Amino acid sequence: MTAVVTYREALNQAMREEMRRDDRVFLIGEEVGYYQGAFKVSKGFVEEFGPQRVLDTPITEAGFTGLAIGAAMAGLRPIVELMTFNFGILAMDQIVNNAAKIRYMSGGQLSVPLVIRGPGSAAHQLAAQHSQSLEAWFCHVPGLKVVAPATPRDAKGLLKAAVRDDNPVIFIEAQLLYGTKGDVPDGEEIIPIGQAEVKRMGQDVTVVAYSKMLLVALEAAQEAANQGIDSEVIDLRTLKPLDVATIVRSVRKTGRLIIVEEGWRFAGLGAQIAESVYSQAFYALDQPIVRVTGEEVPMPYSRNLEDLAIPDRARVSAAITRMVRR
């Protein structure tokens, strides 16, 4: 049995179930308690679990992230909510130099079972400082796992897996996905970290995307289908560790690859994906890999310029058509 729930509700369910299952799990962040989270993901939590397990903090990302790292080292399993991953920049020293390295530097004596979650990428007219896709930063750091689900089902199953993982997990939720709906199975479903999923089967071209760009890719694939082009769409779900094997299997079938990402092109995640495919499936490719990315600019505030800076259905559909019809 399944139920149709929003992305927001799926995250709420995952955290609630994990906090009921394991009293070591707690939630900490700005306004997560009595305000119920900036995006209402923690609605009802303080009433059920109390202020000792749902902790409202001052506006100090470095402070409460460091506190959570210490709690994880001591045996608890914190979930840190960032009001936006743009504010995670303020906690990068804690994330990169402590959370990611302590297990290695202690020779495995200490672990940091920590989830850092919250909205990333652009919403609508939040301007340059609140619209950044920073996932490539986190993927660059050894010791961190990075997850970016696109659907309610994946959001719930992957968040439950992240809470149970003994390593720090960066869990990025696109703000514009919170209100989207999808089927979520009743009962417990754990989706393993590190496994991509083929969301649409096809023969002509492979399109790889993640987070809200998956929805764009699926729309573009449907538009291309109207022209007789059969696209296979892969949702990465996990960005690190990257499921290269699923991508390579698809590329060996289609001979073509398009990578869609909202982030900036230079040193973006798509560059790593392309390198991995070139090194493992170069002779399966009929054409060079194409990347559809965000523009190399700070995000404009003006809505028409913002729309131009972010990949959309038309750009992805055009890339598919050009590649297949070439």
Catalytic residues: 61, 130
Contact 293, 261 (CB under 8 A): yes
**Interatomic CA distance for residues 129 and 83, integer angstroms:** 13
Residue with the two structure tokens 């779900």: 237
* Rounded Cα gap, residues 271 and 260, in angstroms: 11
Q: Which is nearest to 49 in space by CA: 67, 73, 33, 29? A: 33
The tokens for 168 are 């720090």
Cis peptide preceding 192, ω within 30 of 0 = no
Give the Cα separation of 59 and 32 in Å (integer): 12
